[in-house]
Amino acid sequence: MTLEEALRELDALQKKISAYDHALGLLSYDGLTGAPKGTAANRAQSTGVLSEELYRLQTGPETAELLQCLEESGAALDRKTQRTVYLLGKSIRQMRCIPVEEYVAWQRLLVEADDVWHTAKERSDWPLFAPVLERVFGTVKRFAGYCAPEKDPYDYWLNEFEEGTDRARCDEFFDALHAGIVPLLERVRTKPQPDCTVLRGTFPVEAQERFSRRLMELIGLDLDHVGLATTEHPFTTSLGSHLDERITTHYHTDDFASSMFSVIHEGGHALYDTGSAEELAWTVLDGGVSMGIHESQSRFYENILGRSRAFSAYIFPVAAEYFPSLRDYSAEDFYRAVNRAEPGLIRIEADELTYALHIMVRYALEKRVMAGELAVAELPGEWNRLYKEYLGVDVPDDRSGVLQDSHWSGGAVGYFPSYALGSAYGAQLLRKMRETVDVDACLRRGDFAPINEWLRARIWQHGCLYTPAELFRNAVDEPFDPGAFIAYLTEKYTDLYDL
Amino acid sequence: MTLEEALRELDALQKKISAYDHALGLLSYDGLTGAPKGTAANRAQSTGVLSEELYRLQTGPETAELLQCLEESGAALDRKTQRTVYLLGKSIRQMRCIPVEEYVAWQRLLVEADDVWHTAKERSDWPLFAPVLERVFGTVKRFAGYCAPEKDPYDYWLNEFEEGTDRARCDEFFDALHAGIVPLLERVRTKPQPDCTVLRGTFPVEAQERFSRRLMELIGLDLDHVGLATTEHPFTTSLGSHLDERITTHYHTDDFASSMFSVIHEGGHALYDTGSAEELAWTVLDGGVSMGIHESQSRFYENILGRSRAFSAYIFPVAAEYFPSLRDYSAEDFYRAVNRAEPGLIRIEADELTYALHIMVRYALEKRVMAGELAVAELPGEWNRLYKEYLGVDVPDDRSGVLQDSHWSGGAVGYFPSYALGSAYGAQLLRKMRETVDVDACLRRGDFAPINEWLRARIWQHGCLYTPAELFRNAVDEPFDPGAFIAYLTEKYTDLYDL
């Protein structure tokens, strides 16, 4: 095979992989959005078949020959192709470690687990979910053993979600956060809480939907390429390439802010994915490089921008066009209400200050289950105990506790730390961005273009061309420093609570 | 290969085909429902790849060997397997006649054509659509030549949508309809029209949506397996198997009856598909056998049941729960209004009497384009001329004319006659059903169970096990007789218009 032929085949292979990913992603997305309730078994059937076809395509002899040829060409390849070959080779080698029957069974299990989780959450029925979750953790652990027998299984998965991360790095990071956040939260709790009545009322879904579209346009999403749907748990996904992105939200008629910040959060993910350079479409370099960097974007838009005083000043009168009850309040009332720091039960509704504590609970639990120190059956009890210990709250039922998130049923063990890492990355990105962009002035006039351009140039356009660490370092011109996040929180909450 | 092995492989092959069909069907469904506007190119990319994979699976040497082994086993196979081998063999032989590049290009063209049609219809922009439609007709004609060079291309496609149909049979059938309908319509037009103000008003989409679900449950659909969405043009599709069925509708806020009858029409399709015997799931025998039989079910529910006096008596007070303005009218007002016979512009809004005339226009046009007697460019002019000739109406714009339907952009040339055949099948099914089921009594109490059970036993459960002609003959114990339809129309409209 000549190099030219190999490059053509590499292009065709990536397009094939993208198409299967598109189909499998769409099957999953459909299951979470429009599909009737009783169709999971039918979806599992098709998911199983297509996963197997994708598995055989990627692990077959033709692909092996192609990769060998490209790996041998090494230095003759440009940087983009080198990175492509590296990432593709890595993922194919991992896939080869997993027997095909187990790989297919895993894909089918995830369809079933999602289905069972929805019902279990609705009914707050942990015993219904426990046996499925048992199989999820069992498979996750077994696959880590297949792919990296030399590694601790939880370290393996942490590294899958954020290259370069392991328990040691997470422990250190969370210790630093804990040390910074807990004393700050204690000081906050000595102060009176802001009045939150601005957030109370009845907010029709239809008005919230129109407001969602307005927000999406405002933050700079191209609605010709980014769709919106409603689901139990908000999420973002690319279908086939960054040219078709979907975000979802969940409307509560007694709380417009919940969906508002979900839309901005998922919108941040979508900005990142759709910001990939045009030519990366249908390649393995397309879209976000890691979940940590992904969450750095989503949480940047949701919190650092979305929950800022400057943006509140702009968006509050806009929101009042959709929700007339807001007209009795000021933008400052709104700003204070959406930044009320108070330990609660639900991660996705947590304020910036307590949010990382929710993550620490999940991290502690995952680590112990993966190490075999905690049985899946013990998760609800330990969840509730840790919520009391870290956040001081009593969990009334599993729906508001261990069943609240969709990650484990989606097979994503080791994902949660990405949220906290992302929050910390974001604060450092802000510090750097402020050197050249007057962020507050942009937000006060609802102009996201300069902010988006900064992030597009430094983060989005590169897709997966760099490792997360390289990408981040290039973006901020210094190593990762969680201190920026603590400093950001301290400044923000000192002002808000007059500490 | 032993017969036992071959049967196992046949099962696996059908599951694979179902999974690809699921993925391709879902890509198309998504494009028509939730997908953002600018994503057709991305969808075409994935559709092209997956179509090629499916093509290679079906035309590859392993499948050929399997089919040969099964065909040689002939008499040793049970009836179900014989029919499976026959249908699979036929479709694969046809596929083999089409070069892979052309097959893939066709699948991609359909994604593009649908996208362009939506825009063209919205803007009433025929010149935008014409070049794409040119390519659609060109491909349809070319493929007929590949698959059946001995046949007239339009005959080929008529037979694809309704086995056993060709131009000669259609000509005869439409002549009979024309001879029966036109004089009846002329008599109707000498009479005063019913008052239709019952249908006027403002009907919020949200209330219409709730009413749709009520209708779906009422006619006997299992909402755990049948979903509802909104699209420009209502349709029904199975995804992967009859275990996941989707229907769509289109809401007009000034007209609740339009969506009401779309839901019942599409609901009829869905009852047929989901009524397949359980064990047919993921086989080529699953779902409806032909478009003619399919339309016989959808138009049976929409018109023969849905627009009957007996059902009006039941459903009108129910509709009034959702639409308070109806409370000033009677069920009889409603019955007369939804059966107002008057030539109009839009096929899917036509009454039962004039409906077949809309089909005859399309049939005449398709026939001439396929014979090379009419250029695609001449379609709007001829469309308008024939609407004047057949229906006596002037077409004001292409949006209400040649651009109104989605069939041609979907590649379905030869489909339209199925609607008229289906209407006629339905009248004969009613005549037979009445021998053992008191249809009116069932409808007056909103009880579809006896009707559904009759159709399930005689039509639905059999899937594709029989040819359309065999199936229909077994259902009514006599050959097809369009006279039943003329008699049905004559009786109904004589009563309605006091002829």
Tell me the pLDDT band of B75, cut-offs 50, 70 and 90: confident
Q: Which residues contact A200 (CB under 8 A, 6 or more apart)?
A: A254
Long-range contacts of B58-66 (CB under 8 A, 24+ apart): B58/B17, B58/B91, B58/B92, B58/B95, B59/B92, B59/B95, B59/B96, B59/B100, B63/B13, B63/B92, B64/B92, B65/B1, B66/B1, B66/B6, B66/B9, B66/B10, B66/B13
Tell me the pLDDT band of B420, cut-offs 50, 70 and 90: very high
Q: Which chain B residues touch A226 with a CB distance below 8 Å? A: 36
| Sign of the alpha-carbon dihedral angle for A96, A102, A104, A107 | negative
Asked if B36 lies within 8 A of A224 by C-beta distance, the reply is yes
Rounded CA-CA distance B60/B14 in Å is 14
Q: Is A243 helix (H, G, I), strand (E, B) or coil?
A: strand
Structure token pair of residue B344: 């109009």
Mean of all residue pLDDT scores within chain A: 97
Rounded CA-CA distance B100/B403 in Å is 30
Contact A238, A373 (CB under 8 A): no
Asked if A42 lies within 8 A of B224 by C-beta distance, the reply is no
User: β-strands A236-239, B236-239: how paired?
Assistant: unpaired
Structure token pair of residue A299: 């949480």
- Residue A40 C-alpha, separation from nearest chain B C-alpha, in angstroms: 9
Mean of all residue pLDDT scores within chain B: 97
Asked if B23 lies within 8 A of A18 by C-beta distance, the reply is no
Phi/psi at B236 (5° precision): -130, 140
Give the nearest partner residue to B36 out of A15, A48, A225, using CB atoms: A225
Asked if B22 lies within 8 A of A46 by C-beta distance, the reply is yes
Q: Which candidate in A26, A118, A242 is best for mutational testing of the B interface (most B CBs within 10 A)?
A: A26
- Residue B51 C-alpha, separation from nearest chain A C-alpha, in angstroms: 10
Catalytic, B266? Answer yes
- How many beta-carbon contacts under 8 Å exist across A and B? 130
Rounded CA-CA distance A43/A440 in Å is 47
**pLDDT of the residue at B74:** 83
Q: Which residues contact B412 (CB under 8 A, 6 or more apart)?
A: B161
- Residue A34 C-alpha, separation from nearest chain B C-alpha, in angstroms: 7
**pLDDT of the residue at B1:** 86
Contact B433, B439 (CB under 8 A): yes
CA B428 from chain centre, in angstroms, equals 18
Which residues of A are marked as active site?
Answer: 266
- Residue B7 C-alpha, separation from nearest chain A C-alpha, in angstroms: 18
Q: Which chain B residues touch A37 with a CB distance below 8 Å? A: 223-224
Contact A331, A386 (CB under 8 A): no
Q: Which candidate in A14, A46, A206, A208 is best for mutational testing of the B interface (most B CBs within 10 A)?
A: A46
Give the nearest partner residue to B225 out of A33, A38, A45, using CB atoms: A38
Q: Is A72 left (phi over 0), alpha (psi -120 to 50) or beta?
A: alpha
Give the nearest partner residue to A19 out of B16, B38, B45, using CB atoms: B45
Length, in residues, of chain A: 499
Rounded CA-CA distance B207/A44 in Å is 34
Structure token pair of residue B340: 């107002």
**pLDDT of the residue at A75:** 87
Residue A56 CB-half CA count within 13 A: 8
Q: Which of B112, B160, B266, B295 is catalytic?
A: B266
- Fill in the DSSP letter of residue B228: E
Token look-up 């919020």 returns: B204
- Residue B320 C-alpha, separation from nearest chain A C-alpha, in angstroms: 23
Rounded CA-CA distance A25/A19 in Å is 10
The ipTM, to two decimals, is 0.95
Token look-up 């969709």 returns: A406
Query: In whole angstroms, how far apart are CA B280 and each of A44, A95, B222, B237, B287?
Result: 17, 33, 18, 16, 8
Rounded CA-CA distance A26/A28 in Å is 5
Specify the pTM. 0.95
Query: In whole angstroms, how far apart are CA A165 and each of A47, A157, A162, A238, B126?
Result: 31, 9, 6, 24, 57
Residue B246 CB-half CA count within 13 A: 24
Using a 10 angstrom Cβ sphere, with 0-12 exposed, 13-18 middle and 19 or more buried, the burial of residue A72 is exposed
Give the nearest partner residue to A26 out of B16, B26, B244, using CB atoms: B26
Rounded CA-CA distance B361/B365 in Å is 6
**pLDDT of the residue at B77:** 95
Strand (E) or helix (H) holding A246: strand A241-249
User: Among B480, B456, B457, which residue's Cα sits nearest to residue B468?
Assistant: B480
Rounded CA-CA distance B116/B129 in Å is 6
- Fill in the DSSP letter of residue A391: I
Residue B223: closest CA among chain A residues belongs to which residue? A36
Tens digit of each residue's pLDDT (9 = 90 or more) over A453-465 = 999 999 999 999 9
Give the nearest partner residue to B42 out of A23, A35, A244, using CB atoms: A244
Rounded CA-CA distance A379/A73 in Å is 50
Using a 10 angstrom Cβ sphere, with 0-12 exposed, 13-18 middle and 19 or more buried, the burial of residue A76 is exposed
Q: Which candidate in A15, A30, A118, A274 is best for mutational testing of the B interface (most B CBs within 10 A)?
A: A30
Asked if B43 lies within 8 A of A229 by C-beta distance, the reply is no
Q: Is A249 helix (H, G, I), strand (E, B) or coil?
A: strand
Rounded CA-CA distance B375/B81 in Å is 44
Asked if A34 lies within 8 A of B39 by C-beta distance, the reply is no
**pLDDT of the residue at A1:** 86
Q: Which chain B residues touch A49 with a CB distance below 8 Å? A: 15-16, 18-20
Helices H, strands E: what count in chain A? Answer: 20, 3
Asked if A225 lies within 8 A of B53 by C-beta distance, the reply is no
Asked if B45 lies within 8 A of A18 by C-beta distance, the reply is yes
- Residue B271 C-alpha, separation from nearest chain A C-alpha, in angstroms: 15
Give the nearest partner residue to B38 out of A33, A35, A224, using CB atoms: A224
Using a 10 angstrom Cβ sphere, with 0-12 exposed, 13-18 middle and 19 or more buried, the burial of residue A4 is exposed
- Residue A43 C-alpha, separation from nearest chain B C-alpha, in angstroms: 8
Rg of the Cα atoms in chain B:
23
Amino acid making up residue B378: E
Asked if B23 lies within 8 A of A23 by C-beta distance, the reply is yes
Strand (E) or helix (H) holding B140: helix B126-147
The residues with which A255 forms a beta bridge, in sequence order, are: A252
Tens digit of each residue's pLDDT (9 = 90 or more) over B355-378 = 999 999 999 999 999 999 999 999
Asked if B223 lies within 8 A of A37 by C-beta distance, the reply is yes
Series of mean pLDDT values for 10-residue runs along chain A (499 residues): 94 98 98 95 97 97 96 92 96 96 96 95 97 98 97 97 95 97 96 97 97 98 98 95 98 97 98 98 97 97 98 98 97 98 94 97 98 98 97 97 96 96 98 98 98 98 97 97 97 97
Rounded CA-CA distance B220/B450 in Å is 11
Q: What is the mean pLDDT of residues B134-148?
A: 97
Helices H, strands E: what count in chain B? Answer: 20, 3
Tens digit of each residue's pLDDT (9 = 90 or more) over A330-356 = 999 999 999 999 999 999 999 999 999
Residue B236 CB-half CA count within 13 A: 26
**pLDDT of the residue at A74:** 83
Phi/psi at B306 (5° precision): -65, -35
Q: Which candidate in A29, A39, A209 is best for mutational testing of the B interface (most B CBs within 10 A)?
A: A39
- Residue A406 C-alpha, separation from nearest chain B C-alpha, in angstroms: 22
Q: Which residues contact A226 (CB under 8 A, 6 or more apart)?
A: A216, A245, A246, A247, A267, A270, A274, B36
Using a 10 angstrom Cβ sphere, with 0-12 exposed, 13-18 middle and 19 or more buried, the burial of residue A397 is middle
CA B427 from chain centre, in angstroms, equals 17
Rounded CA-CA distance A312/A446 in Å is 10
Residues of A with CB under 8 A from a CB of B: 15-16, 18-20, 22-23, 26-27, 30, 33-39, 41-43, 45-46, 48-50, 53, 206, 222-227, 229, 239-241, 243-246, 281-282
**Proportion of chain B above pLDDT 70, given as a percent:** 100
Give the nearest partner residue to A15 out of B45, B246, B282, using CB atoms: B45
Rounded CA-CA distance B117/A77 in Å is 43
Rounded CA-CA distance A191/A205 in Å is 35
Structure token pair of residue B218: 């009422």
Residue A238: closest CA among chain B residues belongs to which residue? B42
Tell me the pLDDT band of B248, cut-offs 50, 70 and 90: very high
User: β-strands B241-249, B226-230: how paired?
Assistant: parallel
**pLDDT of the residue at A378:** 98
Rounded CA-CA distance A247/A252 in Å is 17
- Please spell the DSSP secondary structure of B372-396, one letter per residue: TSS-GGGHHHHHHHHIIIII-----
Q: Which residues contact B110 (CB under 8 A, 6 or more apart)?
A: B28, B47, B136, B409, B410, B411
Please report the beta strands in A34-81, taking only residues with DSSP state E, as ranges in sequence order. none
Q: Which chain B residues touch A19 with a CB distance below 8 Å? A: 45-46, 48-50, 53
Q: Which residues contact B132 (CB under 8 A, 6 or more apart)?
A: B109, B112, B113, B116, B117, B409
- Fill in the DSSP letter of residue B189: T
